[in-house]
Amino acid sequence: MDLFHEIPDTQCIVLCKGGVYKQAKLYRRGKHTYVGIRGGFVRICAKFGDTWPTSAPDITVVDMEQ
């Protein structure tokens, strides 16, 4: 079983529903990258324009350390 592992020294800024920006930690599980939010994890998808959509339709990553 693959577990979530924090990626050291990396963070991102996410835009949540209602126009709220939050700073969050990044995690890796297998070959995918996730953002820790609301007590859980959402998967970051391929970059589209200047942002990264996520598996949660109301959360978008607007900037992250790569």
pLDDT, tens digit, for every residue of 4-44? 999 999 999 999 999 999 999 999 999 999 999 989 999 99
Q: Which two tokens stand for residue 53?
A: 């959509």
Q: Which two tokens stand for residue 25?
A: 């930690």
Say if residue 66's pLDDT is above 80. Answer: no
The strands making up 40-43's β-sheet, listed across from edge to edge, are: 40-43, 32-37, 20-29, 5-16, 60-64, 52-53
65 pLDDT tier (thresholds 50, 70, 90): confident
> Long-range contacts for 18-26 (Cβ within 8 Å, ≥24 apart)?
21/62, 26/64, 26/65
Name the one residue in this structure whose structure tokens are 């577990």: 3
